[in-house]
């Protein structure tokens, strides 16, 4: 499963879901779906999100199995 830090980084920069959505040209609902892990974004959207949240895609998204392997 794809995990992400979108919610954490969005909060860090004081952005609402609508603000972030406007920056990457998607609806607020789509940001909410991504944060919940309900929807895996395309590479294009993942790159846009990473740029908006001033990070890189690897830092923003990772697979859950990677997380358990590292432990």
Q: Which residues bind other proteins (CB under 8 A)?
A: 25-34, 36, 38-39, 41-42, 45
Minimum gap (Å) between residue 71 Cβ and other proteins: 29
- From its phi and psi, is residue 15 left (phi > 0), alpha (psi between -120 and 50) or beta? beta
Which CB sits closer to other proteins, 16 or 66?
16
Minimum gap (Å) between residue 12 Cβ and other proteins: 22
Minimum gap (Å) between residue 17 Cβ and other proteins: 10
Distance CA 20, CA 48 (A): 10
Tokens of 8: 């954490």
């Amino acid at each position: 499963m794809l995990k992400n830090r979108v919610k954490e980084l969005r909060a860090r920069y004081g952005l609402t879901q609508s603000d972030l959505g406007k920056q990457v040209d998607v609806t607020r609902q789509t940001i909410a779906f991504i944060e919940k892990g309900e929807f895996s974004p395309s590479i294009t959207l993942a790159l846009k999100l990473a740029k908006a949240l001033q990070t890189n895609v690897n830092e923003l998204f990772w697979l859950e199995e990677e997380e358990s392997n590292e432990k």
